[in-house]
Structure 1
Amino acid sequence: MSRKDVERAAARSPGTDRVGRVGLVGAGVVVAIEALWLVLGLPAGALVSDLGALTVAGWAAVACLAAARRHPATLRRFWLLLAATMALSLAGRALWTSQRLLGESLPHTLPIGLIFAASLLTGTAALFCSVTAPRTTVGRARTLLDGVIVGLALIPIGWLLIFRNVSLADLDEPLRTAGLLYPMFDLMQLTILVAVVGPGRPVWRPMALLGVGLTVRAVADTVYVALVAAGTYQPGTPVDVLWPVSYLLIVVATGMPPPRDHGAVEEAGEAPLPPWWRVVLPYLPVGGAIVATMLARDASGHTPMPIFLAMMALLAMLALRQGLAANENLRLVVQLRKLAYVDQLTGLPNRLAFTRRLRGALRGTDRVAVLLLDLDGFKQVNDRFGHTTGDTLLSGLSRRMRRAVGDDGMIARIGGDEFAVLVTDGRPLAPERLAERLLAALQPSPGEELVGVHPSASIGIAEYGPQHISHTDLLRDADIAMYAAKAAGKSAYRRCTQGLRESAVSRAELIADLRRAVDEKQLHLEFQPIVDLATGAVRSAEALVRWRHPRLGVLSPARFLPLAEETGLILPIDRWVIHEACRAAATWQDHVPSATVAVNIAASHLRRPDLIATVTEATAGAGLAPRALTLELTESALIEGSDAVLDRLRQLRELGIRIAIDDFGTGYSSLSYLHRIPATELKIDRSFVARIPEDTRAYATVEMVTRLAGAFDLSVVAEGVETKRQHEAVVAIGCLQGQGYRYGRPTGLAELRTVLVKADPPEVSGVAESGLTLT
């Protein structure tokens, strides 16, 4: 039950709080009056102590009933049992008082003994209904045995300390002797409470008060037993006030609220690894009991019968306790084995179990194949609908795959959304056929297409051969084939070939080389001019990164930037490009102050909060005005932007940085994000510009985008202008700026500065119109 449910329950019964407050004040007053009466030695002390105990016990029973109505249903049984315990204590105390008034000095009668025994049972049962009590039968039995063992161990110790000099003839009244066992019962309950509280969890305050109350009662019963054994006990002495004090602590406990994390405690159950003191708790007093038994022997070497019986019972309880511990250890071993080799969500074997079976198969069979399956688009399911929906979907898909594999292989879940199937020569079904069955099983059923949460799968197949040294090589090849299936359009399977293997090795080597490229200064920039179509003057230059690979030569961005984005290396590359571009632009500001520099920014960098610091450090370090820098962002990066990303872009605009939307028209081209994004210009994608002279629809598209940009007060750059006809078309449409081979190829900084200071417009000496291709 949640905390709101608890508050509602309290609101439905406003009288319960009032009862608790009145009971607490009344019980406190009674205890204070009784304590003062007994300490001062006023007359009728025995009657006052009896009446005080009766009154406080009654109030405690009523307060427990009120707490049961106020607390959640899961705690109601705890308070009801505690109320029954206090009611039995009240009944026993009332019978005790009546018989003492009739002339019995210490009325240890059978009815009184039965009533107090019943209160012992209900009090112990209440402890087992607390929020941190063991949930299993074995756990409860073990805790109960711990209390019984500690209680039995107290008998030899108590005998040695209290009854050693008491003759057995003085203890010939069985009922009276049984009454002397109250301290043992108190210690037993206190041990159970300590074990039940729950190691590693915050102690619920009512349980702490109950522990203090049991301790007070144990002290009272111990002093009572010692005085009775010495024959000096007199009713109405100050020790009698300790029993009402223990009842008063229960009244105080009823006013405590339920634990805030009650639901979490309920689900957590028992702690899997109790602390060392919890394990040795029942055994600590056993050593003292053994020593006390040896010291209690008489001159002839005989052990008193009560001690002998207590030790026999103690040994029996210890044996039973050890048996339960051994059974619990076996159960724990089974549970740990299941946790070690079984995936808890799907019930399939996990990676450890799959690897173990695979290694065994490679030692014992001739034909071994592995199918590695990865769900396509599963991350979007978690992001869109949450992990609970993702787990439900994953469980359902795993059941489908298990049925599809059947007896023809072993399927396991080896990662979040990754599965593997092991096929050996004992199952002659071809791996490709099994892959087709798996893909068919993952097809959405009628109606599931509308939900939008049903991913497809990509499967890689690798068969063991001479090229494999170990199982890791086989899994690596299956992983290579799986990524090839993803690259082929997903929802497909591929078998690993020598070509795929060599391509993967080359790709891994290129990634390793790319990690060293920035530090070893293998990267350099080239600049492509962006011109004013009306005058031919260079208005800006786009910085394009190139990689001088020590072995492969100069690599274009298409060769390494996708790898950089995939591995996260795009971030240091972006930072380097921003700093270098700003330093380069600062060198031409003296000659052409109006010319700016444009830098492409990856989507992952846009989502980082340190982008603003990177840009401001780069411009300040180069001495470049912020208005001279343009950040180019793709549509996909912008459309996925969160509110934090949009705020970051607004901050950049406030600093003076220009924002350009690159490749406009190839992405989402949503009018809604044009209203939100603080852009300053649009760059029309080259695919539209290339078709302008022949395709009227492309012409209309560029014209529409140009007018749209004018409505949003955005400047337009036509990308990929290569021919005279394309140049004339974009000029006729009204584009103000252009970029492409018609106006200049990407070149080094020195060549760009030469172009910038030339008097003639760069397009008049443009590149030949034929034979040009963009790279």
Structure 2
Amino acid sequence: MASLTVVSARDRWWLRAAFGLGVVMVIAQFLAAVPAVRGWLDGHSWARDVLQDAVYLLAAALVLARALIVRKDRGAWLVMAGGLGFYAAGTVWWIAVVVKQDPMPYPSVSDLMWLAYYPFAYTAVVRLLRARRSRISVSSWLDGLIAASCAAAFASVVFLNGVTVDSFEPGLPMLVSVAYPVADIVLAGVLLGSWALSNWRLERVWTLLLTGMGINTLANALRMLETNSGIYVPGGWTDVLWTVALALIVAAAWQSPQPSAERRPARALVGMTLPALLAFASMVLLLSDGWRHNGLPLASSSLAAVAITGAIVRMLLTVRAVENLAAARRQARTDDLTGLPNRRRFLEILARDLDQRDPRSPMAVAVVDLDRFKEINDSFGHHLGDQLLQMVSERLTEAIGSDGVLARLGGDEFGVVMPDADAVRAQKIALGLLPALRHPFDLDQIALHVDASIGVAVFPDHGTDHCVLLRQADSAMYLAKNDHRGVAVATGAAADDAGRQRLTTLEELRTGLDRGELTLHYQPQMEVGTGETTGVEALVRWEHPRRGLVFPDVFLPLAEHAGLMGRLTLQVLDIALAQCREWRDEGLYLVVAVNLSASNLQDTSLPGHVADGLARHGVPPGALHLEVTEEILMRDAARATEVLAELRAMGVRLAVDDYGTGYSSLAYLHALPVDDLKLDRAFVTHCDTDPRSAAIVKSTVELAHNLGMRMIAEGVENEAALDRLREWGCDLVQGYHLSRPQPADRLVTWLRERQPSTLA
């Protein structure tokens, strides 16, 4: 009884000795079937009896030991040990008592104990099955029904052939005689049905157990046939089969636990083929009823009919599943919103066309990206944005016609595959798409004008692989967007490297946001009148794990284009408020200024996030300043004004950043709920030497004061500029003359050295 023992049992000498004894007994049982040895055993029947009893008792003991020692599947193996124990007890009682009685009683106590094995065996198999499959699909249940019915049908032919009610004495003898074949028929069905329910797994435990119990059932059938034919020989090959069956059951019990990842179902082809073969076998069995002399037992034909019926239902379910799978595959390759092929399908089409193309025959791919679509989405809502995308897809499809295949790659980005198009033709097709988009789109009584940037890459000039071509087209699209030229053709390796670097940086930024890699440096803001540092501006940096400190001009434009600014701003705000709280705990009452992008002001939930952050860190609203740029005029000014009003009502102070570089409209200064003007460094840096800059700065200070605002000058580089700003009445200044942006710990050191009175 060779076995693979688990780790917890390897050091038990008595267990190793028991397995060694089991191996010896299996060999002895094989030798006992050899005619020469069997002849000797006929004269020494006690030796055969001892061997047979020992085999059954040892098998039951080893399975019981496994259940007691190993926790995994303990309940199932305890039940199996109980069944084998009854079987062994029945055998011992038969040899020790029953065969010595004259006449031998029927049924005897041994019969009842042998029959008791079956319910234990059923229960053990079911418990092992449930431990491995908590949820069973309808198709698996049908496979189990087909397998169980087919196995029981064939088993019933063997066990019930020629059996009638008149074959047995009435009463208990008849019940016991019928119970044996019925129990074996049910066991055959349980074994094959359980294998089907396990998804036809070939796990070692399952394979050994079902094989062992199947051989035991086969040995019972052979014993019945040999007994009915009068050719049964004690100690023959039928007894060898019983021993082999017990050895396999014990080996199954002592298998090392197999990881769940390795318990894989059989291949799909096997899962489809086996039920079909079983159903076919049942049909052959049913048809054989017509040419059999005595016909089939009623139970056999009924079970075969059940198997065939289950196969028909299974086939119908399979057809439906195939249809659903085909529909799912179509849906997985179709954009839900526009009905166009999606990115996956687009890449498949592109890769297929490249594989089938003559290397000398050109083809082109284009990436179409709508300009300022995010502003439309933020200003008018996603519902209108979705309608716009649907109308855009219809116009692009009509404009492309038979010249290419259009797909939606995601968001406001579309892709076009243009077979047999060289660079000139591809550019001509791309240029023809722009007029189709420039006509106004009428949406909910709103006329929207949409433009696009298109990048084109051509095979084989710009790449021979679909990923390279798409990357080149994407890089060209960014060139077109940055240069405002509508259509751009890829320029080769340089653009590809730039595009790859941009995409790499963007993906690393997404990961960096997840990992909390953003950090803040703080630049002091000094009150000109008192010389005290009362606030700081928080400037974001990215602590890249390989590239070191990355400055915002590298990653903020990417974040804005990719829609990450909202998430990034909230992280910056949280870091700044946490630092503000830490400083206040140390007695350092600094106001912290945080920059907002124009897209942040389109988010109506921003005031709620700010209020939550202030409450969570215990920072008063007056300790937070938020700075916005004049770019808000290019977006939805009404929504931005509403958001700013909510923030100001909370007590947060607001400033217009980079004043003088944008529209600088007095109308919006009058309307916007802001408290401070922050003049751009381009005017401040040269205010001590350039009369024009001096005039702008002086007049802006007066304008701010007349509007009830404070004036903040950034870019103060020297003492002369600071003196002029003091002369003109500027309120706050910041710049390299005071301090460069620095981490929080170095800023505190700087404050202690420069103005100890600032620290409480």
TM-score by length of 1: 0.46
TM-score by length of 2: 0.47
